[in-house]
């Protein structure tokens, strides 16, 4: 199952990221994963949160551009070669990865968690599932 990622466009100036994160903190929104990419004039904060719809509405109500993107999440054994094994299945299934980022959970160091934006989420998910992979759900991530 794909999960909802929120992408937020922020001006590339001091304090903008802090303003956005403070909004979330005031509403007790839990950020599960966060990635920040930048260009000269703006940045893109990509987040997995505990309530994507509440978060998007909050951000939009505060004049921030927030969009949903479907992404895939997988648990990766926290061991040498763990990511390589996962990526080999992506390669075998001919899944193109546009970007990815990682986060850790409260699991005693057994797994890392990877978020993948792929070219065609639904087709990629089918191809990966047919090869024995099970994408995480939003419920799975909320339990980490």
We report the CATH number of the domain holding residue 63 as 3.30.2130.10
Give the per-residue pLDDT at 7.
96
Q: How many domains does the chain have?
A: 2
Q: What is the span of the domain harbouring residue 64?
A: 3-69
Do 97 and 57 fall into the same domain? no
Do 137 and 77 fall into the same domain? yes
Out of 43, 69, 95, a domain closes at 69
Do 11 and 36 fall into the same domain? yes
pLDDT in tens, 28-77: 999 999 999 988 888 999 999 999 999 999 999 999 999 999 999 999 98
Contact 132, 92 (CB under 8 A): no
Could you tell me the CA-to-CA distances from 109 to 34, 47, 71 in Å, in that order? 19, 22, 23
């Amino acid at each position: 199952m794909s999960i909802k990622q929120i992408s937020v466009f922020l001006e590339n100036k001091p304090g903008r990221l802090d303003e956005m994160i403070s909004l979330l903190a005031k509403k007790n929104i839990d950020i599960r994963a966060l990635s920040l990419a930048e260009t000269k004039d703006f940045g893109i904060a990509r987040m997995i949160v505990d309530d994507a719809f509440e978060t998007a509405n909050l951000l939009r109500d505060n004049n921030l551009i927030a969009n949903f993107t479907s992404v895939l999440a997988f648990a990766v054994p926290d061991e040498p070669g763990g990511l390589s094994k996962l990526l080999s299945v992506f390669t075998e299934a001919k899944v193109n990865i546009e970007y990815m980022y990682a986060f850790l959970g409260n699991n005693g160091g057994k797994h890392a968690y990877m978020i993948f934006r792929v070219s065609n989420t639904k087709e990629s998910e089918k191809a990966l599932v047919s090869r024995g992979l099970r994408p995480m759900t939003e419920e799975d991530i909320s339990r980490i």
